[in-house]
Structure 1
């Protein structure tokens, strides 16, 4: 498998209130949208003939990736 790497960012701001705190947070998961491997599957090779020409596909592994870039916002109240 290829190396797995991602870069996440989080920006949080806390506001003090007389009854507690409010925390606003903005996050970005996988900032540069790298296609990390989630799993690999094997695709077997095969041979086929078209117009008298025989073609051979080599067996190979295919990569499946999930979650390119995901932004999120949250608000938390602390009493």
Structure 2
């Protein structure tokens, strides 16, 4: 059984659009997470701020975890 390797250029147009949108959303979430973390005081964040940096870098899940559980309201 051989798996063929494909390139981005080989994808159909709807798949290319989906990949680009996913990348834009991921980068936007990550940037928003870092900006929010940088602007908040330590007492507005649950746990030490340096711990949240690698968490935010985890694709999709990290920024969402930060926004849902890392910020104090």
Q: Determine which structure has the larger helix proportion and give its number.
A: 2
Flag the structure with larger Rg. Answer: 1
Q: Which has the higher contact order (CA 8 A, sep 6+)?
A: 1
Q: Determine which structure has the larger strand proportion and give its number.
A: 1
TM-score (norm 2): 0.22
TM-score (norm 1): 0.21
